[in-house]
Amino acid sequence: MKLLRLLSLLTLFFSLLFIFHTQATSISVGPLKLTYHPFDPLSKQEITLVQTIVLKKYPTSTHRVNFHYVGLDDPEKSTVLKWVSSSSRVQTSRNAFVIVMVNSEIHEILINLRSSNIVSDKVRRGNGFPTLTVDEQGEASLLPLKYGPFIESVKKRGLNLSEVVCSDFTVGWYGEVKSRRALRIECFMKEDTANIYVRPINGITMLADIHDMKIIQYHDKSMEPVPKSENTEYRASHMKPPFGPKLHSFASHQPEGPGFTIKGHTVSWANWNFHIGYDVRAGIIISTARIYDAEVHKYRHVLYRGYISELFVPYQDPSEEWYYKTFFDAGEFGFGQSMVSLEPLQDCPPHAQFFDVYYAGRDGTPQHLENAFCVFENYGAINWRHTETGIPNEEIREVRSDVSLVVRSVVTVGNYDNVMDWEFKTSGSIKPEISLSGMLEIKAVDVKHKDEMKQDMHGTLVSEHSVGVYHDHYYIYHLDFDIDGVDNSFVKTNLKTVKVTDNSSKRKSYWTTETQVVKTETDAKTKLGMSPSELALVNPNKKTSTGNDIGYRLIPNAAAHPLLIEDDYPQTRGAFTNYNIWVTPYNRTEKWAGGLYVDQSRGEDTLAIWTKMNRSIENKDIVLWYVVGIHHVPCQEDFPLMPLLSTGFELRPNNFFERNPVLKTLSPKHVLYGCGKP
């Protein structure tokens, strides 16, 4: 009996010990993982731990605390690469980088998530403010509805206040010596349509102090007619016949199941293996992308880290109501926290797999975003083909259909939806693509026909009383290549015309190539479209059997160059668009092309400033920065909601493989329905 009682007490003791241990670890890092990827995004439990640690030091009973950024502090590259290549993976240190405003001070806090300790806490001095929180934007947008002068302005226009909704806009910087955290507020009519952005209440300017949450400037200068709601509705449930072209139904089926496997955030598909991360500012991050080379029987490193570092959207109307509209969607609003839930079967096909993410709200509480991004296989393209008719009495036709893998997210900042794709191909190519949809920024005018426009309206008359204002979209990608190793070089292969002057040929000219290994950051700055050239990152320490440097080539889309003068205030802040291509030595702190603090920044901490150091980039660990630009001249087809406008580029193997890596890749089997047999 004594032995049984002793065993019972020991069982109870170890049970209580297990429960205590589980509760203790669940608040710090959540469910214990035997292995995890060093770039896994912060979990719900880790965000809660960050909140607990920060509020313990700065309790809300005596401090006003707002969380503006909570993200993974990038581990050292050597640690990550060792983890990826090791078969016995040991948990590495894991830190969170946090930006909080305590009262009116900006604190940069580094937290060790394993020990639950604050490693450092620095008060930030300097210009610019952190990324806006969703909560403070929403709170600021409600201010006009209780503001007496605005209510009077609405009555004066004969509008119904209950049908008014407002939105917030960043104010930029235009030479002010001192800045305060503030937002411009604009309002719209939702009466008879959900398409509020095409029905602005123009003539009113409002400035809200978002520290004190009150309107501090208000002007009502003019009364332009509010554009009509007719033919602006986009909700299918609110539309009436006749509808557009009839699209036939289709069936999508994978009898063998998906061709990819996912463990945590690591994806294995065909010959690719890579990690999908998430950041509240960057959104989707692709990391440690490797491709299997069947000839050498191993995975080879390609892309260490890839993401959108910033999106600059300057509008081209210099009037009092519009001049400040020069937005930095990642740094000011947060690309990650602006991601929206994807709609199954619409945003992604039936066989897609979805991922949820968490980010910290203003009070530090984890915010859950369901279906934040999806992974799916894309069918229907051609991998390679050839028809041979040159052999007598024989015709050969060989075609290989293609399957690619797509990682997709949608970022909605105000009126625009950005569909963001990363497409991986078995040939070794990576194809990032951007597709824009949503609504134009509309300026209300007292004009119904183009012939009535007596002055530059800075846009296109897309409907009665509605001008779609000219603007740009500049996406800058951070692409940290590690092609078969960290030491790479940037190579420009220029195409030049050669005249035949020695009568050695009946031709008078031909073109050839001239290769330049770029040595410094200054020499790497490139404006595309000025002269024909091939751009590649190579590993000069690795050769193919025929002696070529292995590498990857950038195949750009049509280049867009800024038309603002360089010392204009918005262009000073967005100086990273002055060139299409930049190359810098790897520096784990140089992540954001527009600077760490973009809201009301002054261009003091940008890619354009870093590269003035003119550092060496030859045979070094380097980062390629590529600007994808669109000059948007609106047209009537963009109204009231624009069809997808797409652009992108390709990162393509360039002497990376010994030969075509998919020559022996067979087409997938096709399963047909309705004919009784496959």
66-80 CB burial, b ≥16 within 10 A, e <16? bbbbbbbbbbebeeb
Cis amide prior to 640 (ω within 30 degrees): yes
The sign of the CA dihedral 151, 155, 159, 163 is: positive
- Listed residue (164, 205, 260, 305) closest to 587, CA to CA: 305
φ, ψ of residue 179 in degrees (nearest 5): -115, 150
Strands in 441-483 per DSSP E: 442-444, 459-463, 466-469, 471-481
> Which of 317, 329, 472, 480 is the catalytic position?
329
Q: How would you classify residue 559: left for phi > 0, otherwise alpha for psi between -120 and 50, otherwise beta?
A: beta
Q: Is residue 536 within 8 Å of residue 552, measured between CB atoms? A: yes
Whole-number Cα distances in Å, 496 to 370, 511, 515, 526, 668: 52, 5, 11, 17, 42
φ, ψ of residue 163 in degrees (nearest 5): -100, 10
Q: What H or E segment, with its residue span, contains residue 366?
A: strand 366-388
- The C-alpha atoms of residue 124 and residue 280 are separated, in whole angstroms, by 20
Strand partners, 645: 436
Give the list of residues 6+ apart from residue 656 with CB closer than 8 angstroms, or none: 300, 428, 483, 550, 551, 552
- The C-alpha atoms of residue 225 and residue 464 are separated, in whole angstroms, by 10
Q: Is residue 470 within 8 Å of residue 457, measured between CB atoms? A: no
DSSP label at 619? T
- Longest alpha-carbon distance in the chain: 112
- SS3 of 74-132: the string is CCCHHHHHHHHHCCCCCCCCCEEEEEEEECCEEEEEEEECCCCEEEEEEEECCCCECCC
36 is catalytic: no
Q: Which two tokens stand for residue 264?
A: 């945590």
Angle at 88 between CA 85 and CA 94, to 5 degrees: 80
Cβ burial of 379 (10 Å; 0-12, 13-18, 19+) is: middle
329 is catalytic: yes
- The C-alpha atoms of residue 167 and residue 183 are separated, in whole angstroms, by 10
Amino acid making up residue 451: D
Whole-number Cα distances in Å, 286 to 28, 421, 424, 571, 649: 26, 11, 11, 29, 16
The percent helix, strand, coil of the chain (3-state, each to 5) is 15, 40, 45
Give the list of residues 6+ apart from residue 498 with CB closer than 8 angstroms, or none: 509, 510, 511, 512
Q: How many CA atoms lie within 13 A of 217 on its CB side?
A: 13
Amino acid making up residue 671: V
Q: Which two tokens stand for residue 634?
A: 């609106």
Which 3 state secondary structure label does DSSP give 662? Answer: coil
Strand partners, 269: 260, 272
DSSP label at 252? -
Q: Is residue 288 within 8 Å of residue 274, measured between CB atoms? A: yes
Q: Which two tokens stand for residue 491?
A: 């190579």
- The C-alpha atoms of residue 154 and residue 158 are separated, in whole angstroms, by 6
> Which of 69, 197, 416, 569 is the catalytic position?
416
Residues classed as catalytic: 329, 416
